[in-house]
Structure 1
Amino acid sequence: MSRPVRPEDVDEICAALPETELGTSWGDRPTWKVPRGDKGKGFVLYRAPGRTAVDPVTGEMYDDLVVIHTPTEVEKHALVEDASNPFFTIDHFRGYSAVLVQLSRLGEISRDEMAEVITDAWAAKAPKKLVQEHLGG
């Protein structure tokens, strides 16, 4: 098994995938997109603190959330329902194929696991031809 994932690994994993770029969405939020350029679709986003994402224990707004797109609701629920990993969702994301994770809890999963989740997110947003070239069908 690979080492625990670190916050900087998120950007490294995203940058290593074909045709990705770090841009912005939701106003000014850092967002990894594919493909590069005007047609890019976000697959990983650093979310601003907001009233829709609050720590149930402290009542404080999360200030270190990453939103990772999932291919479908099936993958989303599989990640969220697995108590061994730090992924979760909020009411604001009901019906939206994406999970949230706190940067401060990334070490609960391995870098390999995070690379798989991010690669799935990339593949869900990337042009089909690019996915086939990179992942071989």
Structure 2
Amino acid sequence: MASWDDVRRLALELPETDEVAGREGHLSWRVKEKAFVWERPLRKSDLAALGEAAPDGPILGARVPDEGAKHALIADDPSVYFTTPHFDGYPAVLVQLDRIGTAELEEVVVEAWLARAPKRLAKAYRAEAMPQAGSGT
């Protein structure tokens, strides 16, 4: 399963990304100073809202394009993805890091980056990472 080292490696492979530590020492990875994935330990209010269903492993917060994408991820695999009332109305999902494989984590990190990167940067990344079939390149 995935680790913080995997998150760091995947995030920092993306263009114009940096890593910063917040006030409490929790790491976040940003593109152009906009966080796209971050360490998100559960808070007292999260634990109270989740009750017995609260996970106890490492939690990654990840931006998603919109609320629909968040709910689709949670519906697809609630053993990995979840949310708390704190994130109601906010395009982000919580990920149980010790329950996700590195290939799926890569998809989450890249999609989060694409959701936050400036349009020109995201377009250039897509063009390089996903060249058109039959383009002769």
* TM-score w.r.t. length of structure 2: 0.78
Q: Is 2:17–2:31's contact at 8 Å kept on the other side of the alignment?
A: yes
Distance 1:70 1:103 in 2: 16
1:61-100 to 2 correspondences below 5 Å? 62=56, 64-83=58-77, 85-100=79-94
Q: Where does structure 2 lack aligned partners over 5 or more consecutive residues?
A: 131-137
Please say if 1:56 is aligned against 2:37.
no
Identity over aligned pairs, percent: 33
* TM-score w.r.t. length of structure 1: 0.78
RMSD: 2.4
Instruction: Work out which of the two has the higher radius of gyration on C-alpha atoms and give 1 or 2.
Output: 2
What is the Cα deviation at residue 6 of structure 1?
3.7
Q: Where does structure 1 lack aligned partners over 5 or more consecutive residues?
A: none
The Cα offsets for residues 82-126 of structure 1, whole Å up to 9 and x where unpaired, read as 1365011111111011111223323xxx32221111111101111
Please say if 1:112 is aligned against 2:88.
no
**Per the alignment, in what secondary structure is the counterpart of residue 52 of structure 1?**
helix
Distance 1:16 1:76 in 2: 24
Count residues in correspondence.
126
- Judged with a 3 Å threshold, the aligned counterparts in structure 2 of structure 1 residues 77 and 58 are, in CA distance, closer, same or farther, namely closer
Which residue identity is paired with 2:122?
A: V
**Per the alignment, in what secondary structure is the counterpart of residue 56 of structure 1?**
helix
Distance 2:3 2:42 in 1: 20
Which residue identity is paired with 2:86?
A: H
**Per the alignment, in what secondary structure is the counterpart of residue 44 of structure 1?**
strand
Whichever structure has more helix as a proportion of its residues is 2
Distance 1:10 1:129 in 2: 24
Distance 2:81 2:117 in 1: 22
Please say if 1:130 is aligned against 2:121.
yes
**Per the alignment, in what secondary structure is the counterpart of residue 101 of structure 1?**
strand
